[in-house]
Amino acid sequence: MFLRKARARAGRGDVRFGLAGRAWADPPEGEETVQVKIDDVVDQPELPADATEGVPVSSSSAVHAGECAACGSKTTCTCEDYKRLRKAVTKSHNVLFYRNNFNYLCDPCYDEWWPGDYVKRNAIGNWGVLDVGGQYRARFHDEVNMRGLGLTGRDDRFLLHRTRLYANLEVGSRARFYVEYLDAVSNYENFAPRPIEESRSNIQNLFGDFVLLDTWRGKLTGRVGRQELLYGQQRVISPLDWANTRRTFEGVSLLWSGQKWDIDGFWTYRVPPTDKNFLNTDRSQEFSGVWGKYKGFKNETVETFFIRYIETEGTPFEYNTIGAAYHGNRGRFLWDFWGAYQWGDYNNQDQEAGAWTVGLGWKFECQPWTPTIWAYYDWAEGDDRGAGYGYHHLFPLAHKYNGWMDLFGRRNLEDLNFLATLTPSEKWKLIAWWHVFWLQNGNDVPYSVVMTPYVATPGGSQYLGQELDLLVNWQFNPRMAILFGYSYFWAGTFYSTNPDALYADDANFTYVQFTFNF
Least confident of 39-43, 75-79, 227-231, 446-450: 39-43
Residue of 71 and 449 predicted with greater confidence: 449
Average pLDDT over residues 275-286: 80
Would you say residue 13 has pLDDT above 60?
A: no
Position 171 scores a pLDDT of: 97
Residue 367's pLDDT band (boundaries 50, 70, 90)? Answer: confident
Average pLDDT over residues 433-441: 98
Could you give the count of Cα atoms lying within 13 Å of 27 in the half-sphere of its Cβ? 13
Position 67 scores a pLDDT of: 39
325 occurs within a structural domain = yes
Residue of 68 and 165 predicted with greater confidence: 165
Residue 80 in 3-state DSSP?
A: helix
Nearest alpha-carbon partner for 64 in 42, 89, 36: 42
**Length in residues, the chain:** 518
Domain assignment of residue 464, given as a range: 7-517
Mean pLDDT of the chain: 87
Would you say residue 45 has pLDDT above 60?
A: no
Would you say residue 358 has pLDDT above 80?
A: yes
How far is it, in rounded angstroms, from Cα 64 to Cα 223? 14
Position 26 scores a pLDDT of: 41
61, 270, 472 from 495: Cα distances, Å: 45, 34, 30
353 occurs within a structural domain = yes
> Which pLDDT tens digit goes with each residue over 452-504?
999 999 999 999 999 999 999 999 999 999 999 999 999 999 999 999 998 99
> Which pLDDT tens digit goes with each residue over 302-346?
999 999 999 999 899 999 999 999 999 999 999 999 999 999 999
Would you say residue 25 has pLDDT above 50?
A: no
What string of H, E and C letters represents the secondary structure of 233-256? CCCCECCCCCCCCCCEEEEEEEEE
509 occurs within a structural domain = yes
Cβ-based neighbour number of residue 277 at 10 Å: 11
**Domain of residue 315, CATH code:** 2.40.160.100
Would you say residue 7 has pLDDT above 90?
A: no
84, 310, 322, 387 from 343: Cα distances, Å: 48, 12, 9, 15
Would you say residue 275 has pLDDT above 90?
A: no
> Which pLDDT tens digit goes with each residue over 116-148?
999 999 999 999 999 999 999 999 999 999 999
> Which pLDDT tens digit goes with each residue over 251-264?
999 999 999 999 99
DSSP state of 2: -
199 occurs within a structural domain = yes
How far is it, in rounded angstroms, from Cα 10 to Cα 16? 10
1 occurs within a structural domain = no
Residue 41's pLDDT band (boundaries 50, 70, 90)? Answer: very low
Position 121 scores a pLDDT of: 94
Would you say residue 14 has pLDDT above 50?
A: no
How far is it, in rounded angstroms, from Cα 480 to Cα 49? 10
2 occurs within a structural domain = no
Residue 79's pLDDT band (boundaries 50, 70, 90)? Answer: confident
Nearest 5°: phi and psi at 510?
-120, 140
Strand-strand pairing, 261-271 and 372-380: unpaired
Position 255 scores a pLDDT of: 98
Position 61 scores a pLDDT of: 34
Residue 84 in 3-state DSSP?
A: helix
Would you say residue 430 has pLDDT above 90?
A: yes
How far is it, in rounded angstroms, from Cα 67 to Cα 106? 11
Torsion angle of alpha carbons 17, 23, 24, 25, nearest 10°?
A: 80
393 occurs within a structural domain = yes
Q: Are 85 and 111 in contact (CB under 8 A)?
A: no
Could you give the count of Cα atoms lying within 13 Å of 19 in the half-sphere of its Cβ? 21
Cβ-based neighbour number of residue 26 at 10 Å: 16
State the total domains in the chain: 1
How far is it, in rounded angstroms, from Cα 464 to Cα 378? 14
439 occurs within a structural domain = yes
How far is it, in rounded angstroms, from Cα 282 to Cα 268? 10
